[in-house]
A and B are shown apart, each in its own frame.
Chain A
Amino acid sequence: SQTIHQWPATLVQPVGSPLSLECTVEGTSNPNLYWYRQAAGRGLQLLFYSIGIDQISSEVPQNLSASRPQDRQFILSSKKLLLSDSGFYLCAGHWGGIDTQYFGPGTRLTVL
């Protein structure tokens, strides 16, 4: 079965500090991977998606970047966090032949 792991579960960071959130997946190889952000009182916004190693598409211009150094690893980063980067970050995976995305437990990021 497909499982998505995310860490850390919660994170409090000062403005201007760097960020690295990690997502790892278990299951069949070569999934599509996604990073979403959920801001307070808002729906989910797709930030990045990846169809393979080192293949990243950005959906919205922002202060963040993503990398996929291995098939089952997807990393969300920032060099300098902004207050507006606060939110709940969700990693998701989609495997070919399965008509849905599976979500990880999320990381709650608070930027102070």
Chain B
Amino acid sequence: AQSVTQLGSHVSVSEGALVLLRCNYSSSVPPYLFWYVQYPNQGLQLLLKYTTGATLVKGINGFEAEFKKSETSFHLTKPSAHMSDAAEYFCAVSPNDYKLSFGAGTTVTVRA
């Protein structure tokens, strides 16, 4: 069985500051890992994913994440926050059968 833990339900950053969202997972097999973003009253949009290969993954809107197997982590970062980054972010894991297990989500607030 897979589970996902997102540390911090709310993160507040200043515009231009680093965004760091933490995600740890437990999985009995090497997983596929995903980050999704959700804007208010909208569906989820894929930011980036790790399946195989390079462990540093670049996504849309300047986000990137690094898969660290030894730490069972897949933290999401963006060097400089923009006001449009205010949203809820979900980390998800799949054991290759395409049934995603999601974390509880982290809400990002960006201060001007």
A interface residue count range (under 10 / 10 to 19 / 20 to 34 / 35 or more): 20 to 34
Chain A residues within 8 Å of B46, by CB: 100, 102
9-residue interface stretch from B63-71, B75-83, B101-109: B101-109
Does A44 interact with chain B (Cβ within 8 Å)?
A: yes
Least distance between B82 CB and chain A CB atoms (Å): 23
User: Which B19-64 residues have C-beta < 8 A from chain A?
Assistant: 32, 34, 36, 41-46, 49, 51
- Among candidates B51, B98, B103, residue contacting A101 with C-beta atoms closer than 8 Å: B98
Q: How many residues of B contact A (CB 8 A)?
A: 21
Give bound CA distance, A4 to B45, whole Å. Answer: 12
Complex Cα distance A43/B4, Å?
10
Whether B98 lies near A103 (C-beta < 8 A) is no
Verify if B74 is at the interface (C-beta below 8 Å from A). no
Asked if A46 meets B43 with Cβ closer than 8 Å, knowing A99-B49, A100-B49, the reply is no
A37 to chain B, nearest CB (A): 11
Q: Tell whether, in the assembled complex, residue A43 and residue B90 are in contact, meaning their CB atoms are under 8 Å apart.
A: yes
CA A6 to CA B44, docked complex, whole Å: 13
Shortest beta-carbon contacts, A-B, top 4:
A103-B43, A43-B104, A103-B44, A44-B102
B residues contacting A by CB (< 8 A) are 9, 32, 34, 36, 41-46, 49, 51, 90, 98-105
Query: Which of A's residues lie within 8 Å of B, judged by CB?
Result: 4, 6, 32, 34, 36, 41-44, 46, 49, 88, 90, 92, 94, 99-106, 108
